[in-house]
């Protein structure tokens, strides 16, 4: 069995990037932390850290252990909370895409938290591919993310409306030449859909702007740096929607899926009900 104290020191060393700084976090001396890491490496039979002077980085085995270590420490903390405070509803780890996180969803989550004072809500906003992967790994309890239409699984699914957009005040002339694209990094469903649509139409393209957050993409579109694909809830007043008349046909269908972990807690399922009601409302307004 892995020692939680050793795992805590291991995570601290990785996060801090060194033994001395990690020791300050866990209130141990540098030599004590170093000894704890040696014990952990002996337990797993693998070197976990690469030491380069004062800097420390995880090995491949260390990277694999890191995710499990974080989950084990989080579960241990949750268990202590539940035992210490009878009636505690535990923790719900929710993943949402950025456009939904910015679209009045925070008000719903704040209201849900107020009505469940013994529940700890951990919300993460990220790309759909990352949220789906974290749910499959057991790092999330519930996720609201985008996927290709027709995939199986989920508490509820809604067809999504997405559009090509350009700047309203500084539109790009894309009738000829390479189409400048704006989007998330590789792995994004929208990015893949945009590239597929352009290549299917025989158009050349290049990435003019890449951002890991939605606000950066929205700003780049508004500034006239290129074209992007956005959901209706993410389109802003300074964007103009492009249609087939502009030479940009609809892309492959996508959907919004609400998916819970197989062992979802009662609190997780109650939150799922609220999110389903929210998404139904959003769909009704968009119709």
What's the CATH number where 10 sits? 1.10.10.10
**Confidence at residue 287, expressed as pLDDT on a 0 to 100 scale:** 54
| Domain match, 46 and 130 both | no
Residuewise pLDDT in 10s, the chain (287 residues): 788 888 888 888 888 788 777 777 767 788 888 888 899 999 999 899 988 877 888 899 988 898 888 888 888 877 776 665 555 568 899 999 887 776 678 888 988 888 888 888 999 988 888 999 999 999 999 999 999 888 888 888 888 888 999 999 999 888 888 999 999 988 888 898 899 889 988 899 999 999 988 899 999 999 999 999 998 888 999 999 998 888 887 777 888 899 999 988 888 999 999 898 888 777 665 55
Give the whole-angstrom CA distance, residue 33 versus residue 181. 48
Q: Is 188 exposed, middle or buried (0-12, 13-18, 19+ CB in 10 A)?
A: buried
The alpha carbon of residue 56 and the mean position of all alpha carbons in its chain are separated, in whole angstroms, by 26
**Confidence at residue 173, expressed as pLDDT on a 0 to 100 scale:** 83
| Domain match, 221 and 197 both | yes
| Domain match, 70 and 181 both | no
Find the domain containing 269 and state its range. Answer: 90-156+258-286
Number of other residues whose CB lies within 10 A of the CB of residue 63: 12
| Domain match, 72 and 95 both | no
Q: How many domains does the chain have?
A: 3
Please, which contacts does 97-102 make with residues 24 or more away whose CB atoms are closer than 8 Å? 97/125, 97/126, 97/127, 97/128, 97/131, 97/144, 97/145, 97/146, 98/125, 98/126, 98/127, 98/213, 98/214, 99/214, 99/230, 99/231, 99/233, 99/234, 100/144, 100/233, 100/256, 101/125, 102/214, 102/234
What's the CATH number where 164 sits? 3.40.190.10
**Confidence at residue 139, expressed as pLDDT on a 0 to 100 scale:** 92
Angle at 280 between CA 186 and CA 124, to 5 degrees: 40
CA torsion 212→214→216→222, rounded to 10°? Answer: 150
**Confidence at residue 284, expressed as pLDDT on a 0 to 100 scale:** 60
pTM, two decimals, is 0.63
| Domain match, 56 and 103 both | no
């Amino acid at each position: 069995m892995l020692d939680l104290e050793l795992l805590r020191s291991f995570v601290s060393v990785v996060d801090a990037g060194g033994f001395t700084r990690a020791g300050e976090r866990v209130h141990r001396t540098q030599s004590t932390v170093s000894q704890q890491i040696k014990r952990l490496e002996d337990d797993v039979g693998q070197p976990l850290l690469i030491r380069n002077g004062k800097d420390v980085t995880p090995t491949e085995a260390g990277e694999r252990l890191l995710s499990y270590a974080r989950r084990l420490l989080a579960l241990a903390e949750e268990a202590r909370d539940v035992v210490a405070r009878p009636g505690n509803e535990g923790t719900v780890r929710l993943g949402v895409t950025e456009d939904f996180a910015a679209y009045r969803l925070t008000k719903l989550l704040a209201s849900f938290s107020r009505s469940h004072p013994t529940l700890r809500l951990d919300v993460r906003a990220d790309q759909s591919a990352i949220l789906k992967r974290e749910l499959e790994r057991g790092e999330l309890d519930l996720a609201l993310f985008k996927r290709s239409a027709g995939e199986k699984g989920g508490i509820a699914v809604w067809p999504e409306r997405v559009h090509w957009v350009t700047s309203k005040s500084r539109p790009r002339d894309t009738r000829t030449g390479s189409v400048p694209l704006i989007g998330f990094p590789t792995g994004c469903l929208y990015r893949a859909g945009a590239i597929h649509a352009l290549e299917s139409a025989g158009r050349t393209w290049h990435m003019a702007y890449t951002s890991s957050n939605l606000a950066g993409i929205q700003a780049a579109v508004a500034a006239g740096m290129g074209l992007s694909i956005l959901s209706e809830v993410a389109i802003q007043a300074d964007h103009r929607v492009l249609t087939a008349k502009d030479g940009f046909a609809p892309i492959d269908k996508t959907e919004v899926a609400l998916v819970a972990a197989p062992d979802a807690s009662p609190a997780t399922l109650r939150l799922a009900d609220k999110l389903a009601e929210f998404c139904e409302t959003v769909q009704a307004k968009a119709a």
